[in-house]
Amino acid sequence: MLTIFPEMFTPLQESIIKRAQEAELIQIKLVDFRDYALSKHKNVDDVPYGGGAGMVLKPEPIYRAVKDLGISNGKRKIVLLTPQGEVFNQKKAIEFANYDELVFLCGHYEGFDERIRVLADEEISVGDYVLTGGELASMVIIDAVARLVPGVLGKESSAEQDSHRQGLLEYPQYTRPPEYEGLEVPEILLSGHHARIMAWRRKESLRRTFLRRPDLFQSIEFEKEDYPLLEEIALEHPEIAEHRERWEHLKPLIKRRSKKRNISTDNTLE
């Protein structure tokens, strides 16, 4: 993390991210690029050429800090945090988790000298809003990436089922008690029937994504098993029927599959 406010990173000293560092699954190194300032007063910012409000981060301290990182022992990516960058999402988190080293350049004040852009492999935004600095943005990214590193979460499957992992929102989750304030846990979850529970979860994931995030629903790659679930959802939410053409193509696949199964059963090959 290249920042002028290393003390802002204390949240990474808590909970799962703290344990991941203790277990040496991840390592977080804070570099104060003020230490690389050339002037006597360690100035890292200056007024913008051409006038205007606020201060702009100077190029020299950040260039010098990046040079001082030396050669990486593995795959390294340098990420510049900026509201003008590509918007971060789970797909990006998965991509970043494949790197050995991520270097985050945190802007502050009115932003940074344009020449700092040259240092970055990628420019990333955490959303279409403006923060006071890149520190919080980079912590969001670290948190999302670190939990994908094997061993950081207790069970790897807990990240597998997460919302966005498969382009879908996660199904509703419940824990004990089975009934609280008149609100009951769906009976199927108490049944112990694994296959039915999995189908219910998939259906609720599809339903949730359709109702809450139609934008995501547009890009889901449906599986053959989704066809009957989507049919059921279409009966419960007639408006989903408008999207039917998106899964109609699964119908022949299912027919072909059951036909194939019949043939092999007849020939006692299966």
Per-residue buried b or exposed e for 44-77, using 16+ beta carbons within 10 Å of the residue's own CB: bbeeeeeeeeeebbbbbbbbebbeeeeeeeeeeb
Least separation in angstroms between CB 113 and ligand SAM? 11
**83 catalytic residue (yes or no):** yes
Q: Which residues contact 201 (CB under 8 A, 6 or more apart)?
A: 161, 171
Beta carbons within 8 Å of 75's beta carbon, 6+ residues apart: 98, 99, 100, 101
Determine the residue with CB nearest ligand SAM.
Answer: 107
User: Could you confirm whether 214 is annotated as catalytic?
Assistant: no
Q: Closer to ligand SAM at the Cβ: 133 or 172?
A: 133
By C-beta, is 82 or 209 nearer to ligand SAM? Answer: 82
Shortest distance, CB of residue 248 to ligand SAM, whole angstroms?
39
**CB of 35 or CB of 110, closer to ligand SAM:** 110
Closest CB 224 distance from ligand SAM, rounded Å: 39
Rounded CA-CA distance 116/161 in Å is 38
Q: Catalytic: which of 6, 83, 135, 204?
A: 83
The binding site for ligand SAM (CB under 6 A) comprises 81-84, 106-108, 110-112, 125-127, 129-134, 137
CA angle at 95 for the pair 214 and 215, rounded to the nearest 5°: 5
Catalytic-role residue among 60, 110, 122, 143: 110
Return the number of the residue (126 or 159) whose C-beta is nearest ligand SAM: 126
35 assigned to active site:
no
Check residue 244 and report its DSSP letter.
G
**For residue 78, what are the β-bridge partners?**
103
In eight-state DSSP terms, residue 112 is: B
110 an active-site residue? yes
Q: Shortest approach of ligand SAM to residue 188 CB, angstroms?
A: 41
Catalytic residues: 83, 110, 147, 162
